[in-house]
C-alpha cells in the first residue's frame, strides 16, 4: 500500500506517482525569498531525522515556499518528484501541516525521538493538496482530577501536531486539585494542589480509597513553556479555571471566597463548593487571570460555568443575598450570569475571549464574543449557534474519551459507556440538518479526556488513542471519517508505535491494559444511552442543572 493511502487525517487529495526521492545528509533546505521563517519551522519539526538540512536559497532538495495563492490559511500542498520535495502554504501553520504530512510519508522511524542506526528517508513521489474544514480541532486533558507531568503534556502536544489538532484545552482546576502555581496566592500550591488519598474503584460500588497522596501543579513558568512549545507546533493552549463551581480545592486554600468549610476532594461527582459571586471574589480571580494570561498568551481562556448547584450553595448566604439585592437581580441564575459576564469582562481587558461550558449559555453568562463548548448534546449546541454564539462541538457522545471503548468485560474501569472507535469516526461535527447560519457558528470540535478513572500516562494513551485518530479526521474534514479509515488507521498505528504511544489495539486491550480483578476492574457504570437522554433533557432547562450523579 502506498503511504499516500495511509495518511491520517485523510487529505483532500493524495496521489502517488512512480519513483522516489531520498532525504540525505546532503539534502539542502531551500527557502524561497520570504520563506526563511518557514524553513526554520520545517527544520524544527524534522529535527528527529537528525539531518543537517543546510540552508540554501536555490536548487533542488527540500524546498519551502509561502504561496499566497493557497487561499486557506491552514492549507498546503506537497509535491515530490525524483529531484526533490516542495512544500507550499500561505502561512506558517500551513507549512507546519505540510511538514507533519511529509513525516507520515517517510518511514515510521521518522516518529522516533532519534532514528535507529542505518535509518534512511525515502519518500514516494506524488502530491498532496489539503486544507482543514474547521478552525478549532482540539482535545481536552483533565489534569485536575489526576495530575500529569509537564513532560506528559509536551508529549501530547507532539501527538496533537502529528494529527493536525490545533487546540489543547487544559482543565487545570477542579474539586480534586488546583494545578496553577500563583506568585500572588501561594496557598494554592501549598494547600489546593494535593490530596491525601483518592477514591479507589467506582465509588458507588466500593467506597474505599487508595491510601496514597496525589498532587502536583505547574508553575507559571511551566505553563509558559508548555504554551511556547505548543505555539512552535501550531497549537493554541486553552487553559481552564473552572468557576464558580467545582471549587473545593480553591476554597480549601482560600475559604473566604465561599461559604462553609471545604477540603480538596478525594472522590468524584458534583460538589456544593461554589465561590461567592461577590466583588471580592472577582478581584481575587482577576489577579489569577492576570497571572495566567501573562504566562499563556493564547487568544482563549476557558472559565467553566458547569454543574453549579446554585441554590444549595448561595441560598443561605446573607452576603450573596445582599449583593443580589443591590444588583436588582431576581434569582440565583441571574446572579450566576452576572458573575460570568464580569469575569468575561476581565478577560476582554486582557485581550482574550471567554470559553464556557453550555450551562453558562443557558444561565445568561456570555458576552457577544464568548465561545460555547457544548457538551450536553446537539440541542443546546444548535440553540447557542442560532443565538449567534460561536460553538465548539464536544457532546458526551461521542467525544468523551473517559467512557469505555467496548462492552468487553476486560476493559478497565471507566465512568460507563461504551463509546467506540466507530462511534467517534461516525461523528458529524457540523450537522447537515442545521441552517447555513447555524453551521457558520461552528468553530470546530474537541474531544474530552476526563481523568477521574485515568490515573497515569499509560492509561491516558489507552483511553485517548486510537479514538483521537478518528476524531482528528472528523475535525479536519468536518464530516464523518471516510470509508477507508480503518484500513488507513491499521497502517497508521505503526507510527504511533514509533512515537511511543501506548494505544488500545484494534483487537482489544493487551493483557496489561485490562482491568484485572482489583480496584481497576470493569464495572457497569452508566450506559451511554442513559447519559445522552439525561443530558439532552437537562440542556433544555432554563436553569443550571443539578448533580448528574443522581441519575446513576
Q: Return the active site residues.
A: 174, 246, 307
Q: How far is it, in rounded angstroms, from Cα 205 to Cα 219? A: 36
Instruction: In whole angstroms, give the CA distance from residue 257 to residue 276.
Output: 6
CB 206 within 8 A of CB 519: yes
Output phi, psi for 476, to 5 deg.
-70, -45
CA–CA gap between residue 32 and residue 389 (Å, rounded): 41
- Collapse the DSSP code of 484 into the 3-class scheme (helix H, G, I; strand E, B; otherwise coil) and give the result: coil
Q: Give me 336's grid cell.
A: 450566576
Residue 549, strand partner residues: none
d(CA 526, CA 314) in angstroms, rounded, equals 30
Asked whether the beta carbons of 88 and 99 are under 8 A apart, the reply is no
d(CA 337, CA 332): 9
**C-alpha cell at position 202:** 467506582
**Spatial CA neighbour of 329 closest among 321, 317, 318:** 321
Q: Please, what sign has the CA dihedral across residues 142, 464, 134, 48?
A: positive
Range list of β-strands (E), 244-357: 300-304, 353-357
Question: What is the spatial distance between Cα 505 and Cα 510, in angstroms, rounded to a whole number?
Answer: 7
Q: Is 130 exposed, middle or buried (0-12, 13-18, 19+ CB in 10 A)?
A: buried
CB 454 within 8 Å of CB 146: yes
Cis peptide before 398 (omega within 30 of 0): yes
Amino acid at each position: 500500500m502506498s503511504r499516500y493511502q495511509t495518511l491520517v487525517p485523510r487529505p483532500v487529495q493524495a496521489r502517488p506517482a512512480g519513483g522516489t526521492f531520498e532525504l540525505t545528509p546532503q539534502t539542502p533546505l531551500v527557502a524561497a525569498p520570504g520563506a526563511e521563517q518557514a524553513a526554520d519551522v520545517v527544520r524544527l519539526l524534522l529535527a528527529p531525522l537528525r539531518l543537517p538540512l543546510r540552508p540554501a536559497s536555490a536548487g533542488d532538495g527540500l524546498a519551502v515556499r509561502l504561496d499566497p495563492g493557497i487561499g486557506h490559511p491552514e492549507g498546503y500542498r506537497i509535491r515530490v518528484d525524483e529531484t526533490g520535495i516542495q512544500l507550499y502554504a500561505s502561512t506558517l501553520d500551513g507549512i507546519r501541516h505540510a511538514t507533519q504530512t511529509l513525516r507520515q510519508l517517510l518511514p515510521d522511524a521518522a516518529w522516533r525521538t532519534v532514528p535507529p542506526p542505518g535509518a534512511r528517508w525515502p519518500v514516494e513521489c506524488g502530491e498532496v493538496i489539503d486544507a482543514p474544514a474547521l478552525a478549532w480541532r482540539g482535545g481536552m486533558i483533565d489534569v485536575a482530577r489526576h495530575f500529569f507531568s509537564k513532560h506528559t503534556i509536551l508529549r501530547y502536544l507532539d501527538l496533537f501536531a502529528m494529527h493536525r489538532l490545533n487546540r489543547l484545552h487544559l482543565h487545570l482546576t477542579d474539586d480534586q486539585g488546583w494545578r496553577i502555581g500563583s506568585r500572588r496566592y501561594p496557598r494554592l500550591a501549598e494547600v489546593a494542589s494535593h490530596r491525601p488519598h483518592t477514591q479507589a474503584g467506582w465509588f458507588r460500588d466500593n467506597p474505599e480509597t487508595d491510601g496514597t497522596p496525589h498532587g502536583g501543579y505547574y508553575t507559571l513558568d511551566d505553563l509558559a513553556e508548555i504554551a511556547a512549545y505548543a505555539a512552535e507546533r501550531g497549537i493554541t493552549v486553552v487553559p481552564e479555571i473552572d468557576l464558580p463551581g467545582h471549587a473545593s480545592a480553591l476554597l480549601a486554600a482560600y475559604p473566604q471566597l465561599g461559604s462553609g468549610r471545604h477540603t480538596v476532594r478525594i472522590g468524584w461527582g458534583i460538589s456544593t463548593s461554589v465561590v461567592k459571586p461577590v466583588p471580592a471574589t472577582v478581584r481575587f480571580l482577576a489577579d489569577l487571570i492576570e497571572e495566567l494570561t501573562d504566562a499563556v498568551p493564547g487568544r482563549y481562556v476557558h472559565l467553566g460555568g458547569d454543574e453549579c448547584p446554585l441554590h444549595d450553595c448561595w441560598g443561605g448566604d446573607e452576603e450573596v443575598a445582599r449583593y443580589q439585592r443591590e444588583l436588582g437581580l431576581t434569582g440565583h441564575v441571574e446572579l450566576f450570569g452576572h458573575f460570568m459576564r464580569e469575569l468575561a469582562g476581565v478577560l476582554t481587558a486582557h485581550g482574550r475571549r471567554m470559553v464556557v461550558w453550555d450551562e453558562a449559555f443557558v444561565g445568561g453568562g456570555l458576552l457577544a464574543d464568548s465561545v460555547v463548548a457544548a457538551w450536553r448534546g446537539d440541542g443546546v449546541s444548535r440553540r447557542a449557534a442560532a443565538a449567534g454564539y460561536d460553538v465548539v462541538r464536544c457532546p458526551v457522545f461521542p467525544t468523551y474519551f473517559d467512557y469505555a471503548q467496548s462492552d468487553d468485560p476486560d476493559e478497565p474501569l471507566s465512568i460507563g459507556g461504551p463509546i467506540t472507535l466507530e462511534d467517534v469516526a461516525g461523528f458529524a461535527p457540523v450537522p447537515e440538518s442545521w441552517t447555513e447560519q447555524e453551521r457558520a457558528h461552528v468553530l470546530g470540535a474537541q474531544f474530552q479526556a476526563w481523568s477521574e478513572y485515568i490515573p497515569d500516562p499509560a492509561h491516558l494513551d489507552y483511553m485517548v488513542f486510537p479514538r483521537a485518530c478518528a476524531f482528528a479526521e472528523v475535525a479536519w474534514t468536518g464530516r464523518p471519517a471516510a470509508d477507508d479509515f480503518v484500513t488507513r488507521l491499521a497502517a497508521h498505528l505503526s507510527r504511533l508505535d514509533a512515537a511511543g504511544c501506548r494505544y488500545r489495539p484494534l483487537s482489544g486491550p493487551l493483557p496489561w491494559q485490562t482491568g484485572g480483578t482489583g480496584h481497576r476492574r470493569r464495572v457497569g457504570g452508566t450506559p451511554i444511552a442513559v447519559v445522552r437522554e439525561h443530558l439532552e433533557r437537562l440542556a433544555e432547562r432554563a436553569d443550571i442543572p443539578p448533580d448528574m450523579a443522581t441519575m446513576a
